[in-house]
């Protein structure tokens, strides 16, 4: 299930080649796409449960033909574990209260997605019925996320994507017993974890074997919901390429005789080439008639809701404005610690406010550019003592701790940000990329008109540090009139690298 695996993506640096078969010319029968909420019927085929009567006919039908199709999937509160040391959005269930303050945001989306883990194991009967009823009342389609593959005795146990038909049946029965119908199922990364994953209990199946397992799951779930729309979610991460996923879509078509209903891309944001790669997959989907979607998120380690939503907004603008991307499905989704709050839509830096801003003022998404507490370093000219290939200094000031500048060498190394005008500085925030953890010394220098354009030492960070640790210094009085800041590392157990450097504006 999609919850904890995002911590592992950057570890899967496998040296694999594409083993997908060539496109087939076989005649395809497209799976039916409903245009209204289907009525629950008696379960058939592999399913053994009798479907419950549905009250959905009393509610408006969801608009499944909307272009693009917009999805909302905040993380519900669930027990913590080693991969998820947080509980999800604190006010998640408030979304489903009568009069909950997100009417405008709800009017912009068509699909509400629930996590399969929450549906199967953590939601109480009352919570699930409340959520299902309110989703129906709003005229939204109900989606769930589920791992489709059945694990054989020799592999797959505990691996994402291998929850299988047994968990699928639990999810289906619980939704039916809550009076609901599943309109969409987003399968949880079967291709990546069935084929590319190389960790404990890896199966390393062929594309064909995975396609057969996915087809089995689809047929099983249609025993409960005959016209449910079932597609795939896959990560652009590790060794995978755009070609791997276009080949995967063609392989599934050849094996199953019909297309996956959609493909949603889950991005490893440290991969700086992601916009072009997603655009390539999107254009392939347009050519083949397979909707391609993109999940917008922040970073796992972002410190607060504002940061998480701001970087999500920057990614929206990078793909939809800078790259001219046009996904068929757009997903506002989190499996991270943030956002802590989804409501109200009228308050800045809540999840539903983000949705409203996306539709009504998209250009204003992202980080503050000017004024008190803005990040003066964001997008500024930058240079460095050394540059490792692919780790440009600009990646340390792009607002995204998922990317980084690396010198590719041990200390002494420096990086320098041109603020382009004399500025008043309230605070310095640094996020290192550091392996292993250990004692470090980083010196902050500044220059400007007040220093006769000569660098002077402003502060020294000297402590035991580790990767992604936030280092913050706030002077007792703001530093005034500096146009250049240099961070110089003179001691570190690792190559010198920064995920992010933030220089916070003190205002006028």
pLDDT value at position 179? 96
Q: Are 292 and 267 within 8 A, CB to CB?
A: no
Label the pairing between strands 497-505 and 263-267.
Answer: unpaired
Interatomic CA distance for residues 6 and 44, integer angstroms: 36
Dihedral sign (CA 364, 370, 371, 373): positive
pLDDT digits (tens, 9 = 90+) for 373-382: 899 999 999 9
Predicted confidence (pLDDT) per residue in 192-240, tens digit: 999 999 999 999 999 999 999 999 999 999 999 999 999 999 999 999 9
Rounded distance between C-alpha atoms, residue 177 and residue 188, angstroms: 23
Cα separation, 504 vs 302, whole angstroms: 17
| pLDDT at site 88 | 87
Strands 479-491, 438-447: parallel, antiparallel or unpaired by DSSP? Answer: antiparallel
CA distance 235 to 266: 4
The three-state secondary structure class of 25 is: coil
5-12+34-364 has CATH 3.40.1130.10 classification: no
What is the pLDDT confidence band of residue 57, given thresholds at 50, 70 and 90? low
More confident residue, 51 or 302: 302
Helix or strand run (H / E) with residue 216: helix 207-222
What gap in Å lies between CA 6 and CA 336, rounded to an integer? 9
Q: Which CATH architecture has domain 382-505?
A: Sandwich (2.60)
pLDDT at 104 over 60: yes
Closest CA to 280 of 316, 252, 244: 244
Summarised one tens digit per residue, pLDDT across range 418-460 is: 999 999 999 999 999 999 999 999 999 999 998 999 999 999 9
d(CA 375, CA 132): 41
Which of these, 69, 115, 29, 118, lies nearest to 262 by C-alpha position?
Answer: 69
pTM for the structure as a whole: 0.83
- Name the residue ranges covered by the structural domains of the chain: 5-12+34-364, 382-505
**Angle of the 125-137 helix axis to the 164-177 helix axis, nearest 10:** 70
Residue-level pLDDT at 368:
84
* Contact call for residues 110 and 73 (beta carbons, < 8 A): no
Write out the E strands in 12-91: 69-73
Same topology between domain 5-12+34-364 and domain 382-505: no
Contact by Cβ (8 Å): 185, 169: no
- Confidence band for 85, pLDDT divided at 50, 70 and 90: confident
């Amino acid at each position: 299930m999609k919850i904890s695996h995002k911590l592992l993506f950057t570890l899967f640096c496998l040296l694999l080649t594409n083993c997908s078969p060539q496109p087939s010319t076989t005649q395809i029968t497209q799976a039916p796409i409903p245009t209204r909420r289907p009525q629950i019927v008696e379960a058939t085929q592999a399913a053994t449960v009798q479907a419950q009567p549905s009250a959905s006919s009393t509610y408006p039908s969801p608009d499944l033909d909307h272009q693009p199709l917009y999805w909302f999937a905040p993380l519900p509160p669930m027990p913590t574990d080693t991969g998820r040391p947080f509980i999800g959005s604190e006010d998640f269930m408030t979304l489903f209260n009568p009069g909950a303050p997100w009417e405008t945001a709800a009017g912009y989306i068509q699909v509400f997605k629930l996590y399969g883990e929450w549906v199967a194991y953590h939601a109480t009967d009352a919570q699930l019925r409340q959520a299902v009823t309110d989703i129906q009342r709003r005229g939204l389609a109900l989606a769930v996320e589920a791992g489709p593959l059945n694990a054989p005795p020799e592999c797959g146990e505990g691996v994402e994507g291998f929850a299988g038909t047994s968990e699928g049946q639990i999810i289906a029965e619980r939704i039916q017993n809550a009076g609901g119908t599943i309109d969409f199922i987003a399968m949880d990364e079967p291709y990546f974890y069935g084929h590319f994953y190389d960790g404990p209990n890896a199966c390393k199946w062929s594309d064909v074997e995975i396609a057969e397992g996915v087809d089995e799951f689809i047929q099983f779930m249609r025993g409960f919901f005959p016209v449910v729309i079932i597609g795939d979610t896959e990560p652009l991460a590790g060794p995978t390429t755009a070609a791997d996923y276009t080949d995967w879509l063609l392989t599934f078509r050849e094996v199953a005789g019909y297309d996956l209903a959609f493909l949603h891309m889950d991005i490893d944001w440290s991969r700086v080439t992601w916009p072009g790669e997603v655009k390539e997959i999107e254009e392939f989907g347009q050519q083949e008639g397979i909707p391609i979607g993109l999940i917008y998120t922040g970073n796992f380690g972002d410190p607060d809701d504002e940061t998480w939503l701001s970087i999500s907004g920057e990614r929206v603008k990078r793909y939809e404005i800078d790259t001219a991307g046009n996904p068929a499905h757009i997903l506002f989704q989190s499996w991270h610690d943030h956002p802590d709050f989804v409501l109200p839509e009228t308050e800045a830096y809540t999840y539903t406010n983000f949705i409203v801003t996306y539709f009504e003022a998209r250009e204003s998404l992202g980080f503050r550019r000017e004024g008190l507490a803005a990040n003066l370093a964001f997008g500024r000219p930058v240079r460095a003592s050394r540059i490792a290939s692919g780790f440009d200094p600009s990646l340390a000031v792009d607002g995204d701790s998922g990317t980084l500048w690396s010198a590719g060498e041990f200390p002494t190394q420096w990086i320098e940000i041109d603020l382009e005008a004399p500025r008043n500085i309230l605070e310095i925030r640094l996020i290192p990329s550091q392996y292993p953890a250990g004692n470090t010394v980083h010196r902050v220098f500044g220059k400007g008109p007040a220093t006769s354009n000569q660098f002077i030492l402003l502060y020294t960070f000297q402590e035991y540090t580790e990767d992604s640790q936030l280092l913050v210094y706030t002077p007792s009085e703001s530093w005034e009139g500096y146009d250049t800041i240099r961070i110089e590392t003179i001691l570190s157990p690792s190559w010198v690298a920064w995920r992010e450097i933030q220089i916070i504006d003190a205002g006028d």
